[in-house]
Amino acid sequence: MKKSIPALLLLLVLASPLHAAGPLAKVTELRIIKDFLGHQVKLLEAKDLGQLYEVVAAPSGSEKQVFYVTKDGAYIIFGGNLYNREKENLTKERLEQINKVDISKLPLQDAIVIKRGNGEKKLIEFTDVDCPYCRKANDWLKTQTDYTLYVFLYPLDMHPKAREKSIRILCDKDPAAAFELVQTDQELTADKCEMGEKTLQKHQSVATEVGLSGTPVFVTENGSRITGFAQKSIEGYLRK
């Protein structure tokens, strides 16, 4: 009895060999991946680059990372940059792509809002009030104009007083003014309050979702992130 074409196609699909698995499945099964990463790091994507696999991973409490592993599983490459013949930094481009932030999903209404000039450009900042580089960044931002800064507070464990200061800032009737006071080590007037604690929890949740591991981190309108006080990058964005 002759089988119809659709039936034959179904049989071919069902009979497809298991070795047709995609790059991510192959990478996951490599012994070197299991030895280095265990189950602590979630693998999100893998791309076949010829002799290497490019792997996108999501470490807990950090932004997404890119690393490379040889197809035979003999070597794994962390922390390096991959260039092509045109001298393009493919690792840097990939990191920027996978770590873009969808700012439409950020609760900007919960942020501290600081407007300079006409407030045209949006700039989002994740900051620790006692972080020295954060303070340098904010001192420099005061010299710039025509942007609106949305500040999310993210106190780090290394700064034990930062959490209480953050709560008191968010309890103030004018959080933007209170934030400025802290930057110059002036005394805050507001006491701690339940509303401030709840708002800080929201700020920290946003930072966790973005994948922060340190401060300061800036996010532009198109979702690109600028890690650290990279003055030239921030300036280039504001003046573009």
Give the residue among 107, 92, 131 at the shortest CA–CA distance from 217.
131
In a domain, 171, yes or no: yes
What local confidence, expressed as pLDDT, does residue 27 receive?
Answer: 94
In a domain, 9, yes or no: no
> Which CATH number do you get for residue 219?
3.40.30.10
Check whether residue 193 and residue 232 sit in a common domain.
yes
Give the residue among 59, 84, 148, 155 at the shortest CA–CA distance from 112.
148
The mean pLDDT of the chain is 89
Check whether residue 45 and residue 81 sit in a common domain.
yes
* CB within 8 Å of 105: residues ≥ 6 apart: none
Check whether residue 87 and residue 109 sit in a common domain.
no
Residue 30 reports pLDDT greater than 90: yes
In this prediction, what percent of the chain has a pLDDT beyond 70?
Answer: 90
Residue 9 reports pLDDT greater than 70: no
What would you measure as the largest C-alpha separation in the chain, in angstroms?
Answer: 90
- Where is 46: in which H helix or E strand? strand 41-48
* CB within 8 Å of 139: residues ≥ 6 apart: 183
3-state secondary structure of 172: coil
Domain end: 68, 98, 128, which one? 98
Residue 21 reports pLDDT greater than 90: no
Q: Tens digits of per-residue pLDDT, 64-73?
A: 899 999 999 9
Q: Tens digits of per-residue pLDDT, 138-183?
A: 999 999 999 999 999 999 999 999 999 999 999 999 999 999 999 9
Neighbouring CB atoms inside 10 A of 84's CB total 8
Check whether residue 73 and residue 113 sit in a common domain.
no
Residue 194 reports pLDDT greater than 60: yes
Check whether residue 89 and residue 140 sit in a common domain.
no
In a domain, 90, yes or no: yes
Query: Model pTM greater than 0.85?
Result: no
Check whether residue 164 and residue 147 sit in a common domain.
yes
| HSE value, Cβ hemisphere, 13 Å, CA-based, for 137 | 28
Domain end: 98, 123, 154, which one? 98
Which range marks the domain in which residue 39 is found? 18-98
In a domain, 222, yes or no: yes
User: Strand 52-59 to strand 76-77: parallel, antiparallel, or no bridges (unpaired)?
Assistant: unpaired
Find tokens 């339940």 and name the residue. 194
Tell me the C-alpha to C-alpha distance, in Å, between residue 97 and each of 8, 66, 75, 122, 218. Answer: 42, 11, 25, 20, 15
In a domain, 13, yes or no: no
Distance between CA 45 and CA 32 in Å, rounded?
Answer: 17
For the chain, how many structural domains are there in total? 2
Check whether residue 62 and residue 167 sit in a common domain.
no
Check whether residue 179 and residue 75 sit in a common domain.
no
What local confidence, expressed as pLDDT, does residue 126 receive?
Answer: 98
Domain end: 71, 98, 125, which one? 98
Check whether residue 107 and residue 226 sit in a common domain.
yes
Give the residue among 70, 74, 68 at the shortest CA–CA distance from 91.
68
In a domain, 3, yes or no: no
Check whether residue 221 and residue 120 sit in a common domain.
yes
What local confidence, expressed as pLDDT, does residue 168 receive?
Answer: 98
Residue 1 reports pLDDT greater than 60: no
